[in-house]
Structure 1
Amino acid sequence: MTDDFDRTQTFDIPDGYQLLPWHRGFGRQVGPLFEKRDETGLTRAFRVEEHHTNGMMNAHGGMLMTFADMAWGGAVEKDEDTWWVTIRLLCDFLSGAKHGEWIEGNGKVVGHVDGIFTVEGRIWSGERTLLTGTGLFKVIERRGQ
């Protein structure tokens, strides 16, 4: 849980990033997450904290896939209030991420048919690629809360 931060938890984040206001549900469990929106598009990020790690103190593969889903799905957002669902997510794990590392990710729409967007994505830390893959996403109408 995000309220179980350890003493090394920091919010020293690179310029341009801001905290995602996901305070409920699953987003709360895997946070804190960050994003920046600029001329290159939307990039999401997180720092590997203790609650993101496996027994070897590396980012858990499930956390990296969860983050890939959130980062790559962001490619279909028109604005900060777009809702979407994941239809399929395929990931290739290329490298690990250690506790404390800053992880970034984004995706690019490469196809759109019948309301289904195909996105190619990448997750990285510095110059090292951690994951690549593809996702299928559908934009949906926002429902009442």
Structure 2
Amino acid sequence: MTDDLLEERSISLPPGYQPMNWFHGFGRQIGPLYEKIGTDGSYTRAFLVQEHHTNGMGNCHGGMLMAFADMAFGHAVTMKTHRYWVTVRLLTDFLSGGKIGDWVEGNAEVVGVEDDFFTVKGRIWCADRTIMTGTAVFKALGERPAKKAASA
């Protein structure tokens, strides 16, 4: 079973990061995932490379990096429009790898909009080392529900 995949291993999160609320479906398989939202509307998503993220050589699996890039890059559409989205195209270049214990981060920016299609340019990195770059096209869908206010 995958219950152990979401167990926190008492990691100390970098300042500003909090766990993402994605514990079902595919998020349950690739998590835990984290995010940092800036007051200026910027964002960074992240994960700590753990054993279940690795391939047979002990490196972070390319499929994990692609899945992470998809949701890190696509979040640029959410931040700009507050809408759901689906991936139309995701093109990436692998430039380096990740090892167990690496803190991997990623984000993107919207560089083009036509109708409901958003083109983004993104980067995945670990410390000062770029792991992946890419571009993607996402189709924006319906409006996301407003976040509920915290109750006192």
Determine if the TM-score, normalized by the shorter chain, exceeds 0.5.
Answer: yes
> After the TM superposition, which of the residue ranges 11-20 and 99-108 deviates more from structure 2?
11-20
Structure 1 position 10, deviation (Å): 3.6
- Give RMSD over aligned pairs: 2.5
Counterpart for residue 89 of structure 2:
88
Counterpart for residue 107 of structure 1:
108
- 1:7-18 to structure 2, matched below 5 A, reads 9-18=9-18
Unmatched runs of 5 consecutive residues or more in structure 1: none
Helix, strand or coil at the partner of 1:70: helix
CA distance in 1, matches of 2:6, 2:26: 20
Structure 1 position 99, deviation (Å): 0.5
Structure 1 position 58, deviation (Å): 1.0
- 1:27-46 to structure 2, matched below 5 A, reads 27-38=27-38, 39=40, 41-46=42-47
Counterpart for residue 75 of structure 1:
76
Off by >4 Å, runs of 4+ in structure 1: 5-8
Say if 1:70 and 1:57 are closer, same or farther in 2 by CA, change over 3 A.
same
Counterpart for residue 148 of structure 2:
none
Helix, strand or coil at the partner of 1:74: helix
Kindly name which structure, 1 or 2, has the bigger radius of gyration based on alpha carbons: 2
Say if 1:8 and 1:114 are closer, same or farther in 2 by CA, change over 3 A.
closer
> After the TM superposition, which of the residue ranges 5-14 and 123-132 deviates more from structure 2?
5-14
- Identical aligned residues as a percent: 57
Helix, strand or coil at the partner of 2:21: coil
Say if 1:85 and 1:7 are closer, same or farther in 2 by CA, change over 3 A.
closer
The answer to whether the Cα contact below 8 Å between 2:5 and 2:29 also exists between their aligned partners in 1 is no
CA distance in 1, matches of 2:130, 2:42: 19
Say if 1:7 and 1:121 are closer, same or farther in 2 by CA, change over 3 A.
closer
Q: Which structure has greater helix proportion?
A: 2
Helix, strand or coil at the partner of 2:3: coil
Length-normalised TM-score, structure 2: 0.86
Counterpart for residue 24 of structure 1:
24
Structure 1 position 7, deviation (Å): 9.6
- Give the partner amino acid of 1:101: D
